[in-house]
Structure 1
Amino acid sequence: MYPAKLKTITAAVALALTASTFIGQSVSAAAANPPATTNSKQEKGTQSTKEQLLREKQQKIEQEAKAAIQGTREALQALRQNDSVKATALLQKVSGELDILLAKHPDLKMIPADVQAQVFDLDSSPEQVEKMVDSADELLDDEKVQDARYILSALVSEIRITTTSIPLGVFPEAIKEAASLSEQGKTDQAAEALSDVLNMLVSTTDVIPLPVLRAEALLTAASELEHKSDLSKQESRADILRLTDAAKQKLKLAEVLGYGDKKDYKPLYQSIDEIKDVIHSEKSAATWNKIKKSLSDFKNKIIHPTK
């Protein structure tokens, strides 16, 4: 029994490595092969969504807040180099930036200062992911937590948008105290105080599942095909069904990866299945709108679960 189990574990770890290496460019084989241009559209759509989310977040960032964090970090570096004169000047400038923010936003408790995006991509099929989850479950049953963690750490496919904010209720006063210590030449105490100040920064992260974004891109491409004049109705119908099947595979991947509530997926699958009965009919536009709205609402529920 032991050699067989060891073989299973080794295969699962190998699968985790393989799955985490690829960058998502292809649609699952189980969904047949959509037109070659669709993969490019998926990735363009993903990049466009990432850029749009970053722009939305960046528009909320106050330049004084960004400058305050940068100045605080530079001051800490100066203190570590025993340059209290430079550190004091930097902290006085930071304090001025914070005074501007407090004047502009007297009732605001948090002010966005920085935003960063990270992409974690997994190109796999729902079936592969289910096998990996089953293998991790077996390892956990055997109390091999670290081996299971190694597999589970690969099971992520998402964009993370992280916003760093300044707590205006405590940050400005803490900066003034650190500046006073620095001005007195108490570099060690000032450095320690600044480290504590930087730990006051608050980070919040929005998670956007890539399989859901790719499903959205596939469905958009499918809806556009219905109106292409250079394809016969039969040809466009076949391509539309391939794209909608591929979109369902992406949603199934999101489901097995644990994004959102499982109960929310069934209505999505049902609404996508409805399109095959109304392609090239008067009901198709309403059905496409229903699909797009359902998917958009689902995506927003995942990104903003508390709203």
Structure 2
Amino acid sequence: MVVDAETALDQTKKALALLGDKKTQEALGALEVATGKLELILARDPKLALAPVDTGVVIRDLYADPNAVKDAIKEARRLLGDGEVQKARPLVSNLASEVVFQTTNLPLAAYPTAIKSAASLIAKSKVDEAKDTLQAALNTLVITEVAVPLPVLRAQVLLKDAEKLAEDDKRSEESNKSLAAQLDEARKQIRMAEALGYGKKADFEPIFEQIKEIEQKSSGGKSGKGWFDRIKKQVSDLF
């Protein structure tokens, strides 16, 4: 599907360029290919609304601690309360720590119709109108985003490593310190996720309780399995 959608998009751009060179027949050929690809996509799934043509990843990270984030939010609220919107905006605009998966899509409710309309206009020698129609179609591409909080991802990695140590019944003193450090860092990452608003307070309280419980169970070099089952699900549910 992605290949067909990419081809439809590429042929649309090609047709627009050909019209600029006054090569109307070649442009019609490109639009014919685009239309065929779009029909194939819809034949596979008539209810499909968006056809992906490209994907990308954007990382937005923040080097701060939860207290600094809370201070920035508090100051932004004060400024907003005083009507200082523009002064408040930069304080919160960068409050994100996430990896964003972006997908560019063809809107199948309108895009195929626009391509056929452009072809009809070309056949009527209305080249300028056809160019406008194709450009308008290209401007309707829809970008969807899925954001995954980096503090939550980091906490997952830390908990996975901590679980291995907690299951080791022959941990050394150094391993005990490493386990304690990983649990503490996981707590800090979850606090950062909470400060940045990647969930509600009620979502985080059980996680903090579980970390404390695991710390108690593993104290003094004690080991066991299954201790992390609940917290792994709780953290996963934050996505």
Give the TM interval when normalised to the shorter protein.
0.7 to 0.9
Question: Hey, what's the Cα distance between the residues in 2 that align with 1:83 and 1:207?
Answer: 43
Code of the residue aligned with 2:76 in structure 1: it is A
Q: Is the 8 A contact 2:2 2:51 kept in 1?
A: yes
The reply on whether 1:250 has 2:164 as its aligned counterpart is no
Q: 1:151 matched to which residue of 2?
A: 91
**Aligned equivalent of 2:148, options 196, 199, 208:** 208
**Aligned equivalent of 1:241, options 162, 177, 180:** 180
Code of the residue aligned with 1:89 in structure 2: it is G
1:236–1:79: structure 2 CA closer, same or farther, 3 Å change rule?
Answer: same
Code of the residue aligned with 1:130 in structure 2: it is K
SS at match of 1:106: coil
Alignment of 1:140-219 (within 5 A): 140-219=80-159
Q: Is the 8 A contact 1:158 1:207 kept in 2?
A: yes
How far is 1:83 from its partner? Answer: 4.5
Could you give the per-residue CA deviations for residues 87-142 of structure 1, whole angstroms, max 9, x where no partner exists?
32321211111122222223434333322221111121101111221222222223
Q: 1:48 matched to which residue of 2?
A: none
Q: 1:224 matched to which residue of 2?
A: 164
SS at match of 1:95: helix
Question: Hey, what's the Cα distance between the residues in 1 that align with 2:11 and 2:168?
Answer: 55
Q: 1:26 matched to which residue of 2?
A: none
How far is 1:163 from its partner? Answer: 2.2
Q: Is the 8 A contact 2:8 2:37 kept in 1?
A: yes
TM-score (norm 2): 0.88
Question: Hey, what's the Cα distance between the residues in 2 that align with 1:229 and 1:83?
Answer: 76
Q: 1:137 matched to which residue of 2?
A: 77
Question: Hey, what's the Cα distance between the residues in 2 that align with 1:265 and 1:144?
Answer: 32
**Aligned equivalent of 1:259, options 198, 202, 209:** 198
1:252–1:77: structure 2 CA closer, same or farther, 3 Å change rule?
Answer: farther
How far is 1:80 from its partner? Answer: 4.5
Question: Hey, what's the Cα distance between the residues in 2 that align with 1:154 and 1:78?
Answer: 42
Q: Is the 8 A contact 1:85 1:183 kept in 2?
A: no
**Count of residues in correspondence between the two structures:** 237
Q: 2:67 matched to which residue of 1?
A: 127
SS at match of 1:155: coil
Question: Hey, what's the Cα distance between the residues in 2 that align with 1:174 and 1:192?
Answer: 10
Code of the residue aligned with 1:272 in structure 2: it is I
Rg: which structure is higher? Answer: 2
Alignment of 1:29-108 (within 5 A): 61-80=1-20, 82-108=22-48
Question: Hey, what's the Cα distance between the residues in 2 that align with 1:274 and 1:231?
Answer: 19
Could you give the per-residue CA deviations for residues 2-59 of structure 1, whole angstroms, max 9, x where no partner exists?
xxxxxxxxxxxxxxxxxxxxxxxxxxxxxxxxxxxxxxxxxxxxxxxxxxxxxxxxxx
Q: Is the 8 A contact 1:226 1:236 kept in 2?
A: no
- Give unmatched runs, 5+ long, in structure 1: 1-60, 300-307
Code of the residue aligned with 1:160 in structure 2: it is V
TM-score (norm 1): 0.70
- Give unmatched runs, 5+ long, in structure 2: none
Code of the residue aligned with 1:174 in structure 2: it is A
SS at match of 1:287: coil
Question: Hey, what's the Cα distance between the residues in 2 that align with 1:126 and 1:82?
Answer: 60
Question: Hey, what's the Cα distance between the residues in 1 that align with 2:125 and 2:57?
Answer: 39
RMSD (CA atoms):
2.3
